[in-house]
Amino acid sequence: MLANFLFSVNVVIPVFAVMLLGFILKKRDVINTHFLASGNKLVFYVGLPALLFRGVYTSDIGDFMNVGFVAFLIIASVTTFFTIWAVAAVFLKEKPILASFAQGAFRGNFAVMGIPLIINLVGNVGMAPSAIVVIFVVPFFNVCSILVLARCKGEKVGPLAMALAIIKNPSNIMIALGILLTVLSISLPTAVFSTVNTVANFATPLALLCMGGSMVFRGFDAKFKYALVASIVKVVISPVVYTTAAVLLGFRGYELAVIVILAGVPSAIICYAMAVQMGGDSDVAANIILISTVMSAFTLTAFIYVVSVMGWL
């Protein structure tokens, strides 16, 4: 049991340590808001697409053919989002607070935090199912955030605009390219793959540094309770429900690892940016991100420990 506990801690601590470093560097003005903005763009447009391409390109194409795994991810995500939105709407009548609560309690930071955790947990074998999450689930995150936030202004969002946003996403483009090369058994020249590999290697540390540096706390005001409840839903309730359902349905190994991490990662940084841009409550969004991130350092360790002890990984 001690070995399982140490294994769980060693999976989680490196990720949060790099985030803490980013937070400290920002506080000491070693990095600034301009660095964070540029760094986030570099991760989004270059680093993360390269990381996902590498994972797909070096995987067995059979890893992408698990229809049950894809179906579980989609059904679980749809059910979780609309349940959170419907229940929250009963108690929260202010649309900006409701929007920030719903997206913060649902949308996890899988691309930035989840992928490093999965690599630490199961190695590169977890990259194929991680790519499936990015293809099928992360675009759904975007759609749901837009849907709930658009209600703040009474706007309607057309399916064409959503489809274009998904298709134009750099990570989705590189995943599609990686799958195509794998299916056609096309090998990249060594120099090209080495370049992709080098770029992919900086994605994780830079993303975590920028996430840590972007953390902000809005104070213990009347809205703090909403952020706390949303955080509990995000990093405690959702992982318990996801993991229980996945285990009962027979998921094990790296697929279960991806499901646990997907459900357990904290609220995404982009929730704050979207709340600001689309009329959500930015204070609630910022506090959800910070609280859920701090809480997840403990909850993720606990969930990984449990699935390890039970022999499900």
Q: Please report the pLDDT score of residue 62 as a whole number.
A: 65
Find the helix or strand (DSSP H, E) in which 310 lies. Answer: none
d(CA 37, CA 42) in angstroms, rounded, equals: 9
pLDDT band for position 146 (50/70/90)? confident
Q: Which SS3 state, helix, strand or coil, does residue 108 take?
A: strand
| pLDDT tens per residue, range 189-207 | 999 999 999 998 988 899 8
* Among 110, 26, 60, residue whose Cα is nearest residue 300: 110
d(CA 199, CA 49) in angstroms, rounded, equals: 9
According to CATH, what is the number of the domain 2-213+222-309?
1.20.1530.20
- Reduced DSSP (H G I as helix, E B as strand, rest coil) percent helix, strand, coil of the chain, to 5: 80, 0, 20
Q: Please report the pLDDT score of residue 138 as a whole number.
A: 77
Q: Please report the pLDDT score of residue 106 as a whole number.
A: 94
The answer to whether the predicted template modeling score (pTM) of the entire model surpasses 0.85 is: no
Q: Which SS3 state, helix, strand or coil, does residue 92 take?
A: coil
Give percent above pLDDT 70 in the chain: 94
Q: What is the CA radius of gyration of the chain?
A: 19
d(CA 101, CA 258) in angstroms, rounded, equals: 24
- Cα–Cα separations (whole angstroms), residue 296 to 134, 284, 304: 21, 18, 11
Supply the DSSP symbol for 267. B
Cα 72 vs. chain centroid, distance in angstroms? Answer: 17
Q: Which SS3 state, helix, strand or coil, does residue 6 take?
A: helix
pLDDT band for position 161 (50/70/90)? low
C-beta neighbour count of 120 within 10 angstroms = 19
Q: Please report the pLDDT score of residue 157 as a whole number.
A: 63
pLDDT at residue 141 tops 90: no
C-beta neighbour count of 245 within 10 angstroms = 16
The ranges assigned to domains in the chain are 2-213+222-309
Taking the CA atoms of 215, 218, 224 and 227 in sequence, report the sign of the dihedral they define.
negative
Q: Please report the pLDDT score of residue 178 as a whole number.
A: 86
Q: Over the chain, what is the mean pLDDT?
A: 87
